[in-house]
Structure 1
């Protein structure tokens, strides 16, 4: 293939990898009650079926981003895709819930390698005039896959069984591996000679792991319990250690010097806050329809499609507009639209609520997030030099995924925090939960509290996005002009 068509072939190949990985962030959102029942898993184990993948995927993205800058992207991408496919096959044979959780961690490692190489390869390959469109397509595939996950997961569980939530990855992975081997060109690492920051990686893993553990267990075993307090102490102590170490090591995992650029710093913080605010909407709506309205997994998955519709409609439109309007205008407007959607969800979550209001709220959340993500990602990738794009994308993806993890744990905590001990398990039982009319009112109140909290977080992300400036435009162009495409 010639140099003119290569970027688009690369985009198609990497989009298939993104599709595979991001589907697995949400296929279990609807299937979770079925897995919990099959393995007879309690609330703690049920939480970690979801959180194990999200946590390790988030941390390892940052690690493998540095590896990609040092060793090259093609080789790591192929290794990650092969590993992800193989582990997905093994997940269907898990004999108990804890083996499944371990396999989910290995699956997350393969997914992290894929994701951390995708955006830098696209940024390196495309000229600036078409980069916005390419990143818009990439964001569209990623977002649509993550939001379609509940529909696909619900379908396989309803028609077949839970194993096919993992096994459907295998044929897609094999096709993607063969295709990538043919299309992708070997590109040497642009940061050769640098070393891995092992202590920094360890510190950030222990810090985030402690936070996620505390959020996931606080409403189950009590916020004053020793394990929960210990997790919060771990978060603070190792976060301080991480910041202290990164300012002294020669080749840090996170170059804090890049955060002197206000636009870069605010774009990354807005990435985290947007993920924290929007990521658990699909999970909450799917569980709401299963627990409150007794819908099966497939129908509950269909009920979250408005989020997908909004994202699909917004991403390509905003990708085309990103060359004409500022990142500040597009990103902040998108977050404002998402906040209106959150307001509708918080007001219209109840036993007698009309589905059309819930659908409208979901659509606005999806469309607003689509408006935000493409220009925000472009801004981050073009404000750093090519040799730092792996680390920059790793940090962006890690912040986004940590937002997803915390959002999931926090939302489940908020829903169950208003429930008595004997009702907490009903959230994970889905349509199989045996609850009375009064219990349903309590459960609806828990969902309403979660949506209100997400709305407040969206308002905060609007303020952060607005705080960026537009001085990075010239810098973005200079960085792009120095890149050989």
Structure 2
């Protein structure tokens, strides 16, 4: 990995005092420094955990909230999508703001604001307030994710950074997988409102220890504010696409509003690209996409996230509406999968380091496809959990455990360390945009089936999600377009051009 001169001030600004080392040597950390680094990793990972927990914890309470507010599934889908859309749009500029105003400061502001907005969601009197609260919650959540990684990396020498990144990514993946189970316990024994209120004490712990443990750092070269119009365009494109997918079945696919939503989504893409090239402070550094590994892993992340988040919501609804499980029983029925993810996530990062991320991600995609296929072929209207449901749950758990945490690390692996934060923010944005598309696809493919057709409708959903997971594995094996597009073959005019070798 080659780091250009433009990156050196960033690294110097971020280095803690104990990280100094002689030429050609790895930084030597004493026991106290190593302990401090692990504490920083723990507190930053806890922040990431609570943020990503909220991407899925609502799923299991979906039916309960729907009944509480007397609303429909397609309308309530925006409780999930509002969070994911705003999260994705703000993630990238959040990293830039942190570079300028201080990573510790932005991280703690994000955690505090997230707690306040979580309290608002928990007290929401109607779906409109809940959706608004979720959108505001996502703004602060987006401040946490890139800054947390930027705070962790300077605490570790280069030789240990892959482990730190793997642990950080595993926490996010485990949170997303555990969300439905934790949400069910809170919904069953307290109220659906506690799936939001529980964030408040966790955030208090992060702030208390973060004030004492985290080191402040900035990028002395950072200036200006990321282009606000670019931020709006990042959210508007998937929002328009999601609107068309969600409302297509009820409005009609030939309805002018649905067609207009799809056309708008397509037209906004070139507008976004033109604006990004013209803006003084573009919201996305397009030079990063010249790195082939970064480009392909982000594409795979988008596709797999669509399958993953569509499955999380779909399975909970299936168990509650077709097998008539209670909220808690449905969560326990899905628990083996997140348990496998939690046990496998960190080990999968190690396997990726040993055998290469592409092999591990492909194996994960194949296991995912096998698990969804088991459900699509074997699951019927009768509740046969051990024989019909559990095998698919274990296979999908293996697939997710070998995919989500590995994608987080692989996306930034080929970038210079000074670009890790913005690279991780872009990857997380792709994951959240995939969540929006996955939930939208689930709502559209499922439709509004009656009792007699519900099983067939969910079979269609599982086949579609299986195909998406398989496609995520195939994307990584796309042939190279030619050496001219490789970052090592042509020098980019961008001031912070990426000069890392291709790792795919």
TM over 0.5: yes
Q: Whole-Å Cα distance in 2 between the matches of residues 121 and 333 of structure 1?
A: 32
Q: Which consecutive unaligned segments of at least 5 residues does structure 1 have? A: 424-438, 481-485
Instruction: Report the counterpart of residue 328 of structure 1 in structure 2.
Output: 358
- Against the structure 1 CA distance between its residues 130 and 479, is the aligned structure 2 distance closer, same or farther, given a 3 Å change threshold? farther
SS in 2 for 1:77: helix
TM-score (norm 1): 0.88
Q: Whole-Å Cα distance in 2 between the matches of residues 223 and 200 of structure 1?
A: 29
SS in 1 for 2:476: helix
Instruction: Report the counterpart of residue 344 of structure 1 in structure 2.
Output: 374
Q: Is residue 2:394 matched to residue 1:363?
A: yes
Residue correspondence of structure 1 range 137-156 to structure 2 within 5 A: 137-156=167-186
- Against the structure 1 CA distance between its residues 230 and 398, is the aligned structure 2 distance closer, same or farther, given a 3 Å change threshold? same
- Aligned match for 1:245, one of 275, 299, 303: 275
Displacement of 1:404:
1.0
Instruction: Report the counterpart of residue 388 of structure 1 in structure 2.
Output: 419
- Aligned match for 2:303, one of 265, 273, 292: 273
- Aligned match for 1:226, one of 235, 241, 256: 256
Displacement of 1:68:
2.2
CA RMSD, Structure 1 to Structure 2 (Å): 2.5
Q: Whole-Å Cα distance in 2 between the matches of residues 364 and 382 of structure 1?
A: 27
Worse overlay, 353-362 or 326-335: 353-362
| Conserved? CA contact 2:224–2:281, under 8 Å | yes
Q: Is residue 2:345 matched to residue 1:315?
A: yes
Q: Whole-Å Cα distance in 2 between the matches of residues 124 and 406 of structure 1?
A: 35
- Against the structure 1 CA distance between its residues 311 and 216, is the aligned structure 2 distance closer, same or farther, given a 3 Å change threshold? same
Q: Is residue 2:458 matched to residue 1:447?
A: yes
SS in 1 for 2:110: helix
Q: Is residue 2:76 matched to residue 1:46?
A: yes
CA-to-partner distance for each residue in 1:184-238, whole Å, 9 max, x for gaps? Answer: 1001135412541222222222212111222222222222223322221221121
CA-to-partner distance for each residue in 1:261-300, whole Å, 9 max, x for gaps? Answer: 2222111111111111222222111111100111111111
Q: Whole-Å Cα distance in 1 between the matches of residues 436 and 221 of structure 2?
A: 30
Worse overlay, 311-320 or 94-103: 311-320
TM-score (norm 2): 0.85
Q: Whole-Å Cα distance in 1 between the matches of residues 160 and 292 of structure 2?
A: 25
Q: Whole-Å Cα distance in 1 between the matches of residues 74 and 406 of structure 2?
A: 38
| Conserved? CA contact 1:129–1:323, under 8 Å | no
Q: Is residue 2:313 matched to residue 1:283?
A: yes
- Against the structure 1 CA distance between its residues 375 and 143, is the aligned structure 2 distance closer, same or farther, given a 3 Å change threshold? closer
Q: Whole-Å Cα distance in 2 between the matches of residues 297 and 308 of structure 1?
A: 17
Q: Whole-Å Cα distance in 1 between the matches of residues 416 and 341 of structure 2?
A: 29
Displacement of 1:2:
3.9
Q: Whole-Å Cα distance in 1 between the matches of residues 410 and 153 of structure 2?
A: 11
Instruction: Report the counterpart of residue 36 of structure 1 in structure 2.
Output: 66
Instruction: Report the counterpart of residue 212 of structure 1 in structure 2.
Output: 242
Q: Which consecutive unaligned segments of at least 5 residues does structure 2 have? A: 1-30, 490-498
Residue correspondence of structure 1 range 369-384 to structure 2 within 5 A: 369-384=400-415
| Conserved? CA contact 1:278–1:365, under 8 Å | no
| Conserved? CA contact 1:43–1:220, under 8 Å | no
Q: Is residue 2:34 matched to residue 1:4?
A: yes
Instruction: Report the counterpart of residue 132 of structure 2 in structure 1.
Output: 102
Q: Whole-Å Cα distance in 2 between the matches of residues 97 and 373 of structure 1?
A: 31
Worse overlay, 74-83 or 50-59: 50-59
| Conserved? CA contact 2:98–2:218, under 8 Å | no
